[in-house]
Structure 1
Amino acid sequence: MNPQIIVVDDDPMILKRAWNILSEADMKVVALKSGEQLLKHIADNPAPDLILLDIRMPEMDGFETLEKLRAIQKKGQETPVIFLTASEDDGAEEKGLSMGAMDFIKKPFIPGVLKIRVSHAVELIRLQRNLEQEVGEKTKENEQLFLDVVASLADAIDAKDTYTNGHSRRVAEYSKEIAKRYGYDEKNQDNIYMMGLLHDVGKIGVPDEVINKPGRLTDEEFAAIKKHPAIGAKILENIKGMPALASGARWHHERFDGRGYPEGIKGKEIPEQARIIAVADAYDAMTSNRSYRGALSQEKVREQIENGKESQFDPVFADIMIAMIDEDKDYKMHDSKIHGTES
């Protein structure tokens, strides 16, 4: 595709000369006489590959134009700018480069030099964009691969408990929905989803006969269960690229009033994501069949979460969970889809 270049200069002769030189080099050229015209053109048309911008113009000079241009363009999608200048002032070059200009071209320009400088700039821009696209695609592939591995690990952990298979995926989905309603952006929603998937990874260190025991646990057995947050955190601390993963595993059984485990921290000492996961985890526990009881009624689940505000749960996230329950008129949330993924 032929590169699209905008040339901005208040001198009609400069505009005509630049248009002729660059058009002969198979570039699509738009000639504009002022910064105001440039800003209007950018607002109404697709961004060009490159802007050649004169510094000394009446009413709005090149520096002010560039500043206003950057204000209307999204970060990471700024159009590269090369300043045109007849000045020998080193200070102007320093200022322009500090504002993010790509380069300077002196006027009056030599046709061959202008053509080569612009061609090289466009080639460099396109190489950078292609590289960014490839890196972005590879990053998405790696993130998906990591998510697949994490989901498989979560399924393997859940399979230890014959009564709660799929528990980690459901907790991840509820946590993501709570986070979304609370105002988390998409990236942080994805992060808490990952934390929810792995919150029970420490159960790998708990004997199956304890996890699946149908009756009341002995003190020794309950002590074994209470070790799983610390075990999980120890495992996840080895994932250096996502240090927050470990906090979901370590603190999802802490209580807002400080009577939880393993450390007995309370209130906002408990990391926010862990407070979200705690509500989601409790909801799934109450709405699932367990070895020692069946799933509770929706009314009972709502009552338990309401009663647990300020004691077991952060009231903010408990209220969000209650709102989700109230919207679930037919009590299908615990066995349906929240984000298009089977729970």
Structure 2
Amino acid sequence: MIPHIIVVDDDPIILKNAWNTLTRVGLKVVALKSGKALFEYIKDNPAPDLILMDISMPEMDGYEAIKQLKKCETEWRNTPVIFLTANEDEAAETKGLSLGAMDFIRKPFVESVLVLRVIHAVELVRLQRDLEGMVEEKTRENENLFLHVVESLADAIDAKDNYTNGHSGRVADYSKEIANRYGYDEKHQEKIFMMGLLHDVGKIGVPDEVINKPGMLTDEEFAKIKKHPGIGAKILNNIKEMPELAAGAKWHHERYDGKGYPEGLSGEEIPEEARIIAVADAYDAMTSNRSYRGALPQEIVRAEIEKGKGSQWDPQFADIMLKMIDDDIDYIMRDNPGDEIERT
């Protein structure tokens, strides 16, 4: 792929010489006579491989231009810049480098030196991008592997309870949708999805006969159930790469009014992700078949969420869940693990 270079300089002689020199060796070159012209060009064109830019220009100098480039919300913000300057002042060079310039080329330039510096700069940038792409690909592979392991673990947890098959996956889906509607970015949504998948991991340490007991639990049995958040946190604290996983497991049974467990935290003392998972977990509990009852009708579920807003659950996340319920006209957002949530 032919390197694409932009040269920005208010001196027409420098501009012409740079254009002639670089096109002669087969590079694609666009010549622009000012910083303002550069930002007009940006509006309708893809980013180049490299920008060569004069520092001293009227209206918008090179320093201001590179500042504005770094603020762009497109690929232009990462375009490397080499300053063209006749100024040998060390302070000027220090300032340019601190603003993000890649290098300096002195004017008037030697044609052969200009060609070599530009080609080497383009090769270096492309190598860096290739390496970044390889790292990103390997990171995605590792993340996918981790997700598959987490999903398998979540399935193993759910398998302990004959009545909650798919519970962890649904809580993860609901938590992610609440986070999406609340405004979490995609990366944060994926984290809360993981937290939702593993929120009940501590049930590994609860006897099966307690988990699967039909009817009401005794105080002693409920005390065993209440240990699962602490057990889950202890297990997940071993995953140092994602320490927030433990927060979802440990605090998803805390209540907004402070009457939950294991620590009786209240309000914003409870980590935000755990507050999201709490309402998602409660919603799935009400909309799933359990050993002691069937799934509740949607209007009863909605009424319960409304009733618990501000006491059991954080009101802002309860309100988002209520909106999700209202959007779910056909009541498909329940014990149907293969279905996707209706998104608006």
TM-score by length of 1: 0.95
Instruction: Tell me how far apart the structure 2 counterparts of residues 12 and 134 of structure 1 sit (CA, whole Å).
Output: 41
1:244 corresponds to which residue? Answer: 244
1:338 corresponds to which residue? Answer: 340
In structure 2, the residue corresponding to 1:104 is in which secondary structure?
Answer: strand
CA contact (8 A) 1:174 1:338 kept: no
CA contact (8 A) 1:5 1:29 kept: yes
Q: Which moved more, 1:14-23 or 1:201-210?
A: 14-23
CA contact (8 A) 1:35 1:65 kept: yes
After superposition, residues 41-56 of structure 1 pair within 5 angstroms as: 41-56=41-56
User: Structure 1 pair 61/326, CA: closer, same or farther in 2 (3 Å)?
Assistant: closer
* Post-superposition offset of 1:213: 0.9
User: Structure 1 pair 197/76, CA: closer, same or farther in 2 (3 Å)?
Assistant: farther
In structure 1, the residue corresponding to 2:78 is in which secondary structure?
Answer: coil
1:78 corresponds to which residue? Answer: 78
Seq. identity, %: 72
2:104 corresponds to which residue? Answer: 104
Q: Which moved more, 1:9-18 or 1:157-166?
A: 9-18
1:121 corresponds to which residue? Answer: 121
1:38 corresponds to which residue? Answer: 38
After superposition, residues 213-252 of structure 1 pair within 5 angstroms as: 213-252=213-252
Instruction: Tell me how far apart the structure 1 counterparts of residues 261 and 188 of structure 2 sit (CA, whole Å).
Output: 25
Moved over 6 A (4+): none
1:8 corresponds to which residue? Answer: 8
2:313 corresponds to which residue? Answer: 313
User: Structure 1 pair 288/28, CA: closer, same or farther in 2 (3 Å)?
Assistant: same
Amino acid at match of 1:177: E
In structure 2, the residue corresponding to 1:84 is in which secondary structure?
Answer: strand
In structure 2, the residue corresponding to 1:222 is in which secondary structure?
Answer: helix
Q: Which moved more, 1:168-177 or 1:59-68?
A: 59-68
Amino acid at match of 2:28: K
Unaligned runs of 5+ in 1: none
CA contact (8 A) 2:71 2:77 kept: no
* Post-superposition offset of 1:173: 0.7
User: Structure 1 pair 302/281, CA: closer, same or farther in 2 (3 Å)?
Assistant: same
Instruction: Tell me how far apart the structure 1 counterparts of residues 86 and 76 of structure 2 sit (CA, whole Å).
Output: 30
Instruction: Tell me how far apart the structure 1 counterparts of residues 70 and 100 of structure 2 sit (CA, whole Å).
Output: 9
Instruction: Tell me how far apart the structure 2 counterparts of residues 77 and 36 of structure 1 sit (CA, whole Å).
Output: 16
CA contact (8 A) 2:161 2:208 kept: yes
Q: Which moved more, 1:113-122 or 1:71-80?
A: 71-80
2:172 corresponds to which residue? Answer: 172
User: Structure 1 pair 137/116, CA: closer, same or farther in 2 (3 Å)?
Assistant: same
CA contact (8 A) 1:8 1:33 kept: yes
User: Structure 1 pair 286/339, CA: closer, same or farther in 2 (3 Å)?
Assistant: closer
* Post-superposition offset of 1:233: 0.3
In structure 2, the residue corresponding to 1:53 is in which secondary structure?
Answer: strand
In structure 2, the residue corresponding to 1:264 is in which secondary structure?
Answer: coil
1:163 corresponds to which residue? Answer: 163
**How big is each residue's C-alpha offset from its partner over 1:285-342, in whole Å with a ceiling of 9 and x where there is no partner?**
11111111111111221122222122211222122212222222222210442359xx
User: Structure 1 pair 317/57, CA: closer, same or farther in 2 (3 Å)?
Assistant: closer
1:212 corresponds to which residue? Answer: 212
Instruction: Tell me how far apart the structure 2 counterparts of residues 300 and 61 of structure 1 sit (CA, whole Å).
Output: 65
* Post-superposition offset of 1:206: 0.7
* Post-superposition offset of 1:6: 1.0
* Post-superposition offset of 1:187: 1.4
CA contact (8 A) 2:7 2:30 kept: yes
**How big is each residue's C-alpha offset from its partner over 1:263-303, in whole Å with a ceiling of 9 and x where there is no partner?**
11112211111111111111111111111111111122112
User: Structure 1 pair 126/25, CA: closer, same or farther in 2 (3 Å)?
Assistant: same
Amino acid at match of 2:283: Y
Instruction: Tell me how far apart the structure 2 counterparts of residues 76 and 59 of structure 1 sit (CA, whole Å).
Output: 21
Amino acid at match of 2:13: M
CA contact (8 A) 2:284 2:334 kept: yes
User: Structure 1 pair 302/207, CA: closer, same or farther in 2 (3 Å)?
Assistant: same
* Post-superposition offset of 1:72: 2.9
After superposition, residues 185-204 of structure 1 pair within 5 angstroms as: 185-204=185-204
1:327 corresponds to which residue? Answer: 327
Amino acid at match of 1:31: A
CA contact (8 A) 1:198 1:245 kept: yes
User: Structure 1 pair 135/283, CA: closer, same or farther in 2 (3 Å)?
Assistant: same
User: How many residues get paired?
Assistant: 340
In structure 1, the residue corresponding to 2:29 is in which secondary structure?
Answer: strand
CA contact (8 A) 1:55 1:83 kept: yes
User: Structure 1 pair 247/76, CA: closer, same or farther in 2 (3 Å)?
Assistant: farther
In structure 1, the residue corresponding to 2:259 is in which secondary structure?
Answer: coil
